[in-house]
Structure 1
Amino acid sequence: MTIDSKDTIDPLRLPQHVAIIMDGNGRWAKEKGKLRVFGHKNGVKAVRDTVEGAVEIGVKYLTLYAFSTENWNRPKLEVSALMELLVSTLSKETKTLMKNGVRLQAIGDLAQLPGRCYKGLQEVIAQTGNNTNSTLTLALSYSARWEITEAAKQLAKAALEGSIQPDEIDEKLFSQYLSTRDMPDPELLIRTSGEQRISNYLLWQLAYSELYFTPKMWPEFRKADLFEAIAAYQKRERRFGMTSEQLNS
């Protein structure tokens, strides 16, 4: 498929929420004989193009795995460069977010972010808060196991305080204690770079998501690749435990 994939997309069957694991920045840079941070800088172009592509076709929620809790274990120089890149990118891209009507939000253990980074993030979140075309969520200092553990702690506290009863806890209530409570679960997960794993990302929310893996490294990913992934998604039959016959009837 080429960019013509956009023409094959059924606008009535769009996934509301697309989640992406942006993988391959470091390997892409290494292949070019550059430092890993060179890949991260070029990955910003992929983010911009993908966000614009999502808005263009009407995807309402786009969630990007930008920095995991495990990423804090990377070399300090790389982590520092990533944080500085995040601050500068947020500042530069605010105009683009406003132009496209994109609201920014973030999930994860944000308290772990450096002060300057956290402040810059909150400023852009506030500035774009009234935009309605699409919601871009950055998963920063994020881990699905961390998120689920935090939700369990909050539920346990609510039960101890008597505001809920243990037998009231079900999937719907549990979901209300997750970071993503204000958005639908992703129907489609995209991972770049050829790796085929979820990497501790949205484990609860991805229970029934369609998984799409592409060999392209993240710095090479563009809106045409997003369109191709969505076109492939629309060719799949989502049964949710039922049979094809049940769905068709």
Structure 2
Amino acid sequence: MDITSHTHHISQQYNIELDDIKTHLAEMGGMAERQVNDAITAMIEVDLEKAEQVVHGDRKVNSMEVSIDEECVRILAKRQPAAGDLRLVIAVTKAITDLERIGDEASKIARQAIALSRDGAAPRGYVEMRHIGNHVSRMLHEALDAFARLDLDVALKVVQTDRTVDMEYSTAMREMITYMIEDPRSITRVLNIMWSLRALERIGDHARNIAQYVVYLVMGEDVRHGSIEEIEEQLGQDQEDGE
């Protein structure tokens, strides 16, 4: 099912307004993806120029959130949407908040990369940074894709991957702490990596949130505080009811 298949209304302008918020969400999502990928690259390669580009680009992400939010408020006030259209507008307003926070986290990683470019590369953590970064980048891409296509299967996959990211993050933190204890001279630089890994873990959480909005859009169920097992059970029950 494609998200473009929302209810078509007599008012062509209303249809255009609904299409616009989806298009603008996709554009903001694409920008957030680039910010995350560039921030990870800047950290791993200690690339000062790319890091500064990410920091400056955060303003654009913030601006897009404000603009899309204003569009949604106008639709709510003028059109008084109901049912699926109302869920769409609500889901978009929630998703752009997560995307804005993803931009903030990417900016934090970029700032840590700038600090490392000044203080010298950290002795440990880049393998974990690349590995968790790949997971998180894929989560964000798939969450946005699931939102665009209302794909419950992909959305659930993102939620499941977040659990893996959380476990890998915890393991990486223990390893970083152990290394700092063994070599106190490395503390400042390893902390840069640890704060960056924390930002990646948070990006994964926001990607998971976006995936959960897909469930809300399709089923009208708020599953943000449910476990993976509860979400899977709910999806299975709804599929049985639909047969």
> If the TM-score is normalised by the length of the shorter chain, which range does it land in?
under 0.3
Tell me which structure has the larger Cα radius of gyration. Answer: 2
Q: Return the structure number with greater relative CO, CA threshold 8 A, min gap 6.
A: 1
The answer to which structure has the higher strand fraction is 1
| TM-score (structure 1 length as normaliser) | 0.26
| TM-score (structure 2 length as normaliser) | 0.26
